[in-house]
Amino acid sequence: MLLRLAGVSKRFGRDWVLRDLDFALERGEVVALLGPNGSGKTTLLRLMAGLLKPTRGRVEREGKALLLPNPPAFHRRLTAREHLLYDLAFHGQGGDWAWALGRFALPSDLPLAAFSSGMRKRLALARLLLLFPDLWLLDEPETALDAEGRGLLLEVLKEARGKAGVVLATHDRGLAEKVADRALFLGEA
Amino acid sequence: MLKAANPERPDLLTWVLLGLGLALLPVGLYLALSAPPDVNQGYLVRIMYLHVPGAWLGYLAFFVTFLYSLLYLFRQDPRHDRVAMASAEIGLVFMGLALVTGMLWARPTWGVYWTWEPRLTTTAILFAVYVGYFLLRGAIEDPELRRKAAAAVGVLGFINVPISYMSVKWWRSLHQTQSIDLTTGRIQMAPEMLQALLFNLLVFTLLYLAFVRFRGFLAALEARKEEA
Amino acid sequence: MRRVLLLALRDLRLEVRDRTGLLSLLSFFAVMLFIMALALGPEEAPLRRAAPGVLWVALAFMSTLLSSRAFALEVEEATLDDLLLTPGSKEWIYFGKLLFQLLLLFPLSLLALLMAAGLFYLPLERGLPLLLTLLLGVLGYASVATFYAGLLARLRGREALLPLLLFSLVVPVVLASVRATAGLVEGLPVAEVADWWRLLLVFDVVYVTAGALLFPVVLEG
């Protein structure tokens, strides 16, 4: 059991964003998280990552979780190479950043401020691939990606499925149908 | 301190303490006003009957906040946080009383409202710490983060006390020529004076316990409303 | 731990690349000292007497500003989450941010000493003990500032609380540092000044430890 939520509810101030959620994820599963804007997808992903604590209920997690937010978060004044090197070091891992950058067709020595949003998305995917967590939490990863980028996304997801678990919040039904084993719907009951 | 997690009204012990404290308060005042005046200070010394218990309870209150903040950090029980907060609030009241009465007493005695005397300065610093404690609580919306942050301040603020005291004491001791002769603050205690002082200390302690329990009860009600 | 050093160096690199940031900090610092010299001068004696106090007021301001900056960038870029998702307990983030500030504050202290020597006639004969005082004092101030800045970084618009929360805790640091500096300048034997150093050391140890332990607690949620 890679991830388990039991009776999870979350409120902000007086608003209940999530109510009584039960969910389980095994290694090798890809689950699509669907729902309209404002239905709490991002909140749920953050809860799964452990960045938020539930107001009620329990979240159990095995191994390392990483979150790919939308839009991705980077330090603009670093280059891709520097960023990946620091990230690897903070996680105490080694990894072939050069290969990763090559695979995603990204320049290694350009400040990230000069990256387009599509490039930033690809860098975020490269980062995830290098760090390879046990639990991949992706918030609308398809946004800003062109056709080639989407191809890369699909490849990455296939690789992740092999050894980890994936929760994928998305508006893209097509993508969900292509990669996900099942779906979780958020919104008005 | 608060046994019931969901009280409907303050429990019996709280009422008893409150009743006893309020009933004995006039007795304490009577004793204070009928005690003989001091040899040096005359009737001015009577401020001491409010000032000393106020300061004592203030320090006790903040110590309790420190303890319960530590407890909360270890146990994560919201009740501990409520006690810590209630005690800090009542502590501010008592400490404020001590500071004001201290200043009122200082003016006729030393000629100034304020002096950088170690205990006075440390008290003022501690007062500022707990004002900060409540400003921080007010600034955080998420209840759990609020409790954790407050507990951290409760701990960091209190361990500061001995270090601050030492630093101000050494700082002051460098001034060989003190414009204020602190020995004029000394009093010789007649037995009636000691009696009055101790009695008022008892009354203040009862009131402290009662107020903290009451405030804790209110905090539990507030928390319940927030959870709903 | 290696990542403490790397975090500090990364932040330093980011700071250096933001050329306007460091420059504006330095200018602010220099202007502060100038204005205080103008306000307290031009006679030599009052300036010299005021020098230790002025020095530490300026350093206190800088430390407060720097501690906010240490976290402001993370909040701005939403990268704090990435740090929080790293493995292991999170004290290393505290130490990394603290080290980053020290890497900037130590050279700044040196600059402050030189400027104080110029503008305030501060004698620099006992340079090494003066430097030690600065290091101990700056470490104490920054240890508390790092904790509070990290805590407040996630509360939008509440940075104004930082000076108040900070002030009530760092009184011993300011008193001890100023007194030690003044003592050294007046020619007191090191043995007498050492009392203040000991107090600073106690403060530093207590608050670096407490800050590091409590920091992860207030970052979650």
- DSSP assignments along B141-192, one per residue: -SHHHHHHHHHHHHHHHHHHHHHHHHHHHHHHHT-SS-SS-GGGG-----HH
pLDDT of amino acid C42: 86
Q: Which domain holds residue A141?
A: 28-52+64-185
pLDDT of amino acid B140: 87
Contact A21, A37 (CB under 8 A): no
Confidence of residue C205 (pLDDT cuts 50, 70, 90): very high
Instruction: Provide the 8-state DSSP code for B37.
Output: P
Q: Which residues of B touch C (CB under 8 A)?
A: 73, 125-126, 128-129, 131-132, 135-136, 139-140, 142, 144-145, 148-149, 151-153, 155-157, 159-160, 163-164, 166-168, 170-171, 174
Look at residue B185 and tell me whether its pLDDT is greater than 80: no
Question: Does residue C76 sit at the A interface (CB-CB below 8 Å)?
Answer: no
* Lowest mean per-residue pLDDT among A71-85, A140-154, C5-19, C145-159: C145-159
Q: Which domain holds residue B84?
A: 12-174+191-227
Q: Which residue has the higher pLDDT, B46 or C170?
A: C170
- What would the mean pLDDT of C147-153 be, rounded to a whole number? 90
Question: Does residue C3 sit at the A interface (CB-CB below 8 Å)?
Answer: yes
Q: Quick check: is A59 in a domain?
A: no
Task: Please give the ipTM for the structure prediction.
Answer: 0.88
Q: Which residue has the higher pLDDT, A77 or C158?
A: A77
Q: Could you give the number of structural domains in chain B?
A: 1
Confidence of residue B187 (pLDDT cuts 50, 70, 90): low
CA separation, residue C84 to residues B53, B76, B216 (Å):
46, 21, 34
- Show the DSSP H helices in chain B as ranges: 12-34, 48-75, 78-110, 118-139, 143-173, 191-227
What's the token pair of residue C81?
A: 């989450």
Task: Write down the mean pLDDT value for chain C.
Answer: 89
3-state SS assignment for residue A140:
coil
pLDDT of amino acid B71: 95
The amino acid sitting at B135 is L
pLDDT of amino acid C221: 58
Q: How many CA atoms lie within 13 A of C8 on its CB side?
A: 19
Contact B78, B223 (CB under 8 A): yes
- What would the mean pLDDT of A2-30 be, rounded to a whole number? 88
Q: What is the CA radius of gyration of chain C?
A: 18
Q: Report the share of chain B in percent with pLDDT over 70.
A: 87
Q: Could you give the number of structural domains in chain A?
A: 1
pLDDT of amino acid C138: 95
Contact C36, C60 (CB under 8 A): no
Cβ contacts of B89 within 8 Å, gap of 6 or more: B134, B215
Among B151-155, C63-67, C71-75, top mean pLDDT goes to B151-155
What's the token pair of residue C27?
A: 């200018």
Give the alpha-carbon dihedral of A96, A101, A102, A103, to 10 degrees: 90
Look at residue B175 and tell me whether its pLDDT is greater than 80: no
Cβ-based contacts of C77 with chain A (< 8 Å)? 73-76
Confidence of residue B6 (pLDDT cuts 50, 70, 90): low
Q: Quick check: is A165 in a domain?
A: yes
pLDDT of amino acid B186: 54
Cβ contacts of B110 within 8 Å, gap of 6 or more: B180, B184, B185
pLDDT of amino acid A144: 87
Q: Quick check: is B186 in a domain?
A: no
- What would the mean pLDDT of B164-187 be, rounded to a whole number? 61
Q: Report the share of chain B in percent with pLDDT over 90.
A: 29
Among C155, C168, C220, beta carbon nearest to B128:
C168
Nearest chain C residue (CA) to B155: C210
Q: Report the share of chain C in percent with pLDDT over 90.
A: 47
Q: What are phi and psi of A186, to 5 degrees?
A: -110, 145
pLDDT of amino acid B12: 82
Closest CA to A29 of A52, A51, A47, A4: A4
Contact B167, C175 (CB under 8 A): yes
* Lowest mean per-residue pLDDT among A94-103, B33-42, C131-140: B33-42
Contact C71, C153 (CB under 8 A): yes
pLDDT of amino acid C207: 95
Query: A47: domain CATH number?
Result: 3.40.50.300
Confidence of residue A120 (pLDDT cuts 50, 70, 90): very high
As a whole number of angstroms, the distance between CA B16 and CA C107 comes to 62
Give C206: exposed, middle or buried? Use CB within 10 Å, 0-12, 13-18, 19+: middle
Closest CA to A168 of A45, A23, A39, A36: A45
* Lowest mean per-residue pLDDT among B66-80, B85-99, B182-196: B182-196
Residue C89 — left, alpha, or beta (φ > 0 → left; ψ -120 to 50 → alpha)?
Answer: beta
Look at residue B1 and tell me whether its pLDDT is greater than 50: no
pLDDT of amino acid B7: 62
Confidence of residue A85 (pLDDT cuts 50, 70, 90): very high
Cβ-based contacts of C83 with chain A (< 8 Å)? 90
Look at residue B228 and tell me whether its pLDDT is greater than 60: yes
pLDDT of amino acid A174: 87
Residue with tokens 């130490």: C95
What's the token pair of residue B44?
A: 């001015």
As a whole number of angstroms, the distance between CA C128 and CA C109 comes to 12
Q: How many CB atoms lie within 10 A of CB A177?
A: 10
Contact A101, A118 (CB under 8 A): no
As a whole number of angstroms, the distance between CA A23 and CA A11 comes to 18
Confidence of residue B22 (pLDDT cuts 50, 70, 90): confident
pLDDT of amino acid C53: 92
As a whole number of angstroms, the distance between CA A85 and CA B126 comes to 45
3-state SS assignment for residue A15:
strand
Q: Quick check: is B148 in a domain?
A: yes
* Lowest mean per-residue pLDDT among A6-20, A89-103, A107-121, C136-150: A6-20
Task: Write down the mean pLDDT value for chain A.
Answer: 90
As a whole number of angstroms, the distance between CA B19 and CA B17 comes to 5
Cβ-based contacts of C86 with chain A (< 8 Å)? 90-91
Residue with tokens 């404690």: B133
Confidence of residue A188 (pLDDT cuts 50, 70, 90): low
pLDDT of amino acid C77: 63
Cβ contacts of A31 within 8 Å, gap of 6 or more: A25, A165, A166, A167, A168, A180, A181, A182, A183, A184
Task: Write down the mean pLDDT value for chain B.
Answer: 82
What's the token pair of residue C136?
A: 């101990």
pLDDT by residue (tens digit) across C73-119? 887 768 888 999 999 889 999 999 999 999 999 998 888 889 888 88
Q: How many CA atoms lie within 13 A of B214 on its CB side?
A: 14
Chain B neighbours among C 110-139 (CB < 8 Å)? none
Q: CA of A103, closest CA in chain C: separation in Å? A: 23
pLDDT by residue (tens digit) across A167-180? 999 988 888 888 89
- What would the mean pLDDT of A5-21 be, rounded to a whole number? 87
Among A35-44, A140-149, B57-66, B206-215, top mean pLDDT goes to B57-66
Bridge partners of A73, per DSSP, are none
Confidence of residue B178 (pLDDT cuts 50, 70, 90): very low
Confidence of residue B5 (pLDDT cuts 50, 70, 90): low
Cβ contacts of B187 within 8 Å, gap of 6 or more: B38, B39, B40, B41, B45, B48, B193
As a whole number of angstroms, the distance between CA B32 and CA B49 comes to 6
pLDDT of amino acid B176: 43
